Amino acid sequence: MADAQADALLRYLDLIAKWNKVYNLTALRDPADMLTHHVIDSLAAVPPLLRYLQSMGKSGARVLDVGAGAGLPGVVLALMHEGLQVHCVDTVAKKAAFVQQAAAELELPNLRGVHARVESLEAGFDIVCSRAFASLPDFTQWSRGALLPGAAWMAMKGKEPHDEIAALPADVEVFHVEHLAVPGLQAERCLVWMRPAAEPLT
């Protein structure tokens, strides 16, 4: 990580702490907890995402962070890789406004806060991700319309959600579950990668 990126991540944490006093963006208040549980947790998704894009022959992508809240992981993704065009969507106007403010203060032209319901968004994204947003069946159902052809879902979860995976409809395929080690966090974390299942040949 470049020094400028590390500095920007700390400035982002300061922004969350400042806005939290008025807008209750996150439940955590302690800066050390926010660093570990929010920023470092979100950073853990960056290498797997970049590896996936590389495997698809892409150097960049349009990413939608659903139920982004304070912009986790969307702001972190945008900050760590300028080739990602990240849109953070939330139904709460103040949270989308915070992401817009973060984009301005951190000088991230590849980041945008969107106040909307994800169901209202049209197809336009290579990766649709979420962190602590909803069950996998709900997440994929609500955001399916935002997927470009060939796009994938990336869901950040705690323990591997076997019950949620089992409850997915037949037209959603889990193609990879990646377990993450998050420094300083004594808890299980994983990424569940999904895509629309190929329609059977008739």
**The two three-digit tokens of residue 176, written as one number:** 């990879």
- Residue 200 is predicted with a pLDDT of 58
Do residues 29 and 170 make contact, with C-beta atoms less than 8 angstroms apart? Answer: no
Per-residue pLDDT of 55-81, as tens digits, reads: 999 989 999 999 988 999 999 999 999
**The two three-digit tokens of residue 190, written as one number:** 């994983």
Per-residue pLDDT of 19-53, as tens digits, reads: 887 776 675 666 666 666 678 889 999 999 999 99
- Residue 28 is predicted with a pLDDT of 60
> φ and ψ at 195, to 5 degrees?
-150, 160
Query: Of 29-33, 66-70, 85-89, 165-169, which gets the smallest average pLDDT?
Result: 29-33
- Residue 148 is predicted with a pLDDT of 96
Burial of residue 169 (number of CB atoms within 10 Å: 0-12, 13-18, 19+): exposed
- Residue 186 is predicted with a pLDDT of 77
- Residue 183 is predicted with a pLDDT of 78
Homologous superfamily (CATH) of 3-196 is Vaccinia Virus protein VP39 (3.40.50.150)
- Residue 22 is predicted with a pLDDT of 74
Do residues 78 and 109 make contact, with C-beta atoms less than 8 angstroms apart? Answer: no
**For residue 132, pLDDT beyond 90:** no
List the one residue out of 127, 79, 126 whose CA is nearest residue 99. Answer: 79
